[in-house]
Amino acid sequence: MVGMERYLQQIEPALAAARDWIVTPSAWGQIVALALAVLLGWGAAALVRPMLLRLLSPAAGATGSLSLLRRQLRRLLPLLGPLFAAAFAAFGEEALRALFGTAGIAAFGKRVFLFLAVRAFVRDVLREPFLRAYGRFVVLPIVAVYAVGLMPTVAAALSTMRMPLGNLSFDLLWAMKFALFGGLIFWAGRWSNERSTAYLAGQEELRPATRQLAIKTAEVAIFGLAFLVLMNVMGVNLTSLAVIGGAIGVGIGLGLQQIASNFISGIILLIEGQATVGDYVELDGGEAGTIVKMTLRSIILETFDGKWIVVPNEHFITTRVVNYSDQGSANRLEAAFSVSYDTDINRVPAIIEAAVAKHPKVLGHPEAPDCELRGFGDSGIDFAVEFWVSGLDDGPNKYVSDVLFLIWNALKEAGIEIPYPHRVVELRGPEGGMRF
């Protein structure tokens, strides 16, 4: 009881001052101003929202840039009430300061309305998971501290708390600024990179290698610019980056030669365009597949059985590479067959060439199908037909298999026998030999 009485005695002056203040015109003016700000703010939002909803609602199925912008602006409608209230509160604050010289409650209400606007923006407008988490765990706490008027106090306290990092140290205020600006800047960089990649990938008039080079160049430029902007915002002297560049140079000289070599090789490959996405290539080491992705460090090949092979860019520069150019260029294939020795072989080339030419994927240029006599085998006379197609004989295409079917049917229709091996067996005994 004694402690309670002592506590009441200590707060009695504050309570008396509050009672005296609450009956002043300034206090009632600020309370009325906040009440009016709430009523007018949400009332104005209720009046304006239907008009804006009609204005910002594009026609069904519209996909233009203007329609996209209107949809994005329509998502901001939940912010109308808090923003209108904050505007009316700010107007009331200025008027009360002019009349009474103070408007602390009105200023506090304005900050609370701004906090509600930011909260509505994070909750109702942001949809990307990263931005929602960023707004919830970084932006909202900072705005809450601002709303209660503790921003200067908290900033001063954080600036005195230093975190050691080896021989370096930084204060928590710097770390908070880094989290606030760094996340936003690099999200903007990632968003810009996605948009530039989609735009450049759609430029069909450019060679695939040129498109890949432009995409990688834009990516490096965007994130490099984001890094420089962040360093400038954080107050880091950009001339000190020369020290970092020297350290990176030493690292490359000591142990990153392969990474640097692959990086430079990737740039050379993208500039020269000797291999690009979609080409079917075979390396000296036996690796073969279709190029599905080219990065600044490696090239990814996909085999016809679905495996991915990661090949360092340097291998495409320093070793022999066979490029079958599966990008619409023609490739010559061959199908071998044999006929019986009883066949009039002078008839065979015309029959086979006419049959193979009927295949819809067999080309007449640079050469029509050509049937050649290859030799005289043990069981039959060996032929081969050469033909040109656009693509490779594997994966979804079975050119040689289709052509062999055509050869079989054509020879059957012409009455030409396809031989099979014959063997003669002799059994010798005391009474002489028998032959089968």
Domain assignments of the chain as residue spans, ordered by start: 21-149, 258-323, 331-413
Phi then psi dihedrals of residue 343, to 5 deg: -85, 145
pLDDT of residue 251: 60
Distance of alpha carbon 283 from alpha carbon 383, whole angstroms:
31
Asked if 110 contacts 86 with a C-beta cutoff of 8 angstroms, the reply is yes
The reply to whether domains 258-323 and 331-413 share a CATH topology is no
- Pick the closest to residue 133 from 82, 171, 175, 184 (CA basis): 184
Asked if 97 contacts 29 with a C-beta cutoff of 8 angstroms, the reply is no
Distance of alpha carbon 102 from alpha carbon 107, whole angstroms:
10
CA atoms within 13 Å, Cβ hemisphere of 127: 3
Q: Is 236 helix (H, G, I), strand (E, B) or coil?
A: coil
- Pick the closest to residue 331 from 339, 320, 322 (CA basis): 322
pLDDT of residue 381: 93
Residue 351 token pair: 């029959």
CB atoms closer than 10 angstroms to residue 139: 20
pLDDT of residue 244: 60
pLDDT of residue 436: 53
Name the β-bridge partners of 168.
165
Query: CA triplet 292, 265, 267: central angle to 5 degrees?
Result: 75
Phi then psi dihedrals of residue 134, to 5 deg: -60, -45
Residue 187 token pair: 């999200």
pLDDT of residue 123: 86
Residues whose CB falls within 8 Å of the CB of residue 163, separated by 6 or more in sequence, listed in order = 169, 170, 171, 172, 175
pLDDT of residue 249: 63
Asked if 234 contacts 174 with a C-beta cutoff of 8 angstroms, the reply is yes
Asked if 298 contacts 311 with a C-beta cutoff of 8 angstroms, the reply is yes
- Pick the closest to residue 240 from 232, 256, 183 (CA basis): 232
Task: Tell me the residue length of the chain.
Answer: 436
Cα 282 to chain centroid distance, Å, stands at: 28
pLDDT of residue 329: 66
CATH placement of domain 331-413: 3.30.70.100
Asked if 419 contacts 380 with a C-beta cutoff of 8 angstroms, the reply is yes
pLDDT of residue 22: 59
**Residue 257 Cα distances to 264, 298, 299, 398, angstroms:** 11, 15, 18, 43
Which segments in the chain show pLDDT lower than 70? 1-26, 61, 64, 165-169, 206-210, 236-256, 273, 325-329, 393-396, 422-425, 427-436
pTM over 0.85: no
CATH placement of domain 258-323: 2.30.30.60
161 CB burial (10 A radius; 0-12, 13-18, 19+): exposed
Distance of alpha carbon 166 from alpha carbon 421, whole angstroms:
81
- Pick the closest to residue 231 from 247, 246, 243, 219 (CA basis): 243
pLDDT of residue 348: 93
Matching residue, tokens 């298999």: 401
Distance of alpha carbon 79 from alpha carbon 86, whole angstroms:
11
Asked if 355 contacts 406 with a C-beta cutoff of 8 angstroms, the reply is yes
pLDDT of residue 336: 93
